[in-house]
Amino acid sequence: MNAKKITDALLVVDVQNDFCPGGALAVPDGDRVVPVINRLADLFEVVLHTQDWHPAGHHSFASSHEGKDPYDVITVDYGKQVLWPDHCVQKTEGAAFHPGLDTSRSQLILRKGFRKHIDSYSAFFENDQQTVTGLTGYLRSRNIDTLYVTGLAADFCVKWTVLDAIKEGFHVNVVEDAVRGIDLDGSLEQAWQEMNGAGARVLTSDTLLHRI
């Protein structure tokens, strides 16, 4: 492998303790994406991370709604909202990146979900689909038009990030072995259908490792 780097951006979504085994909202085998992402990070000139960053008592937590349980669904101003176990609360260990994840090459850490009354799956828009995170402007200012998306969870934050990136005009690749899903009532299969249907390209890390 030579020293040439891939000039597109690697986007690492929410690889945090609460989404990994033992966490408050653990994605099955979520920690298995860590070594894959670390290998990929060495290939890219631009590496970006997102971090779920909720205040205590966030509106998306089941504990904020009397009589509701985790994974119940309610209707809010912006549509349907899954109620989650308390997770990724600001300044807690659960909100920290997985200890094995190498963030030393990250050029941007984008925190989302910090507005108490709006959940935020996507790295581009909060769930009202109107409140922007600023990521589109950042990428365009750096002349980046292609993303390789990795992280957790494939059927929620990864999916919405991919769909919004495509809507924003970016070329999007999903690294299949660098994502894992929660899979609530078939949500993982549906996510792959939606991402493929929107035009995302799905590939494996080996494809990238052999590209350089």
56 pLDDT higher than 50? yes
State the catalytic residue, choosing from 88, 112, 119, 159.
Answer: 112
Phi and psi (nearest 5°) for 135? -65, -40
Average pLDDT over residues 43-54: 97
pLDDT digits (tens, 9 = 90+) for 63-89: 999 999 999 999 999 999 999 999 999
- pLDDT exceeding 70 applies to what percent of the chain? 98
The two tokens of residue 105 are 């090459």
Longest CA span, the chain: 58
Range list of β-strands (E), the chain: 6-13, 44-52, 73-76, 79-82, 106-112, 146-152, 171-180, 201-203
State the catalytic residue, choosing from 18, 20, 88, 157.
Answer: 157
Find, among 90, 41, 96, 70, the residue nearest to 208 by Cα: 41
pTM for the complete prediction?
0.95
CATH architecture for residues 6-54+88-209: 3-Layer(aba) Sandwich (3.40)
The letter for the amino acid at 212 is I
Length of the chain: 212
For residue 86, indicate whether it is catalytic: no
CA pair distance 116, 123, nearest whole angstrom: 17
The two tokens of residue 13 are 């979504």
For residue 116, indicate whether it is catalytic: no
Which region among 4-8, 82-86, 125-129, 161-165 has the lowest average model confidence (pLDDT)? 4-8
Identify the pLDDT of residue 1.
Answer: 40
Q: 77 and 126 in contact (C-beta within 8 Å)?
A: no
For residue 112, indicate whether it is catalytic: yes
CB atoms within 10 A of CB 118: 21
At 2, the pLDDT band (50, 70, 90 cuts) reads very low
Report the relative pairing of strands 73-76 and 79-82 from DSSP bridges.
Answer: antiparallel
State the catalytic residue, choosing from 14, 18, 119, 155.
Answer: 14
The two tokens of residue 173 are 């690749």
Q: Which alpha helices (H) appear in 8-121, and where do they start and end?
A: 33-41
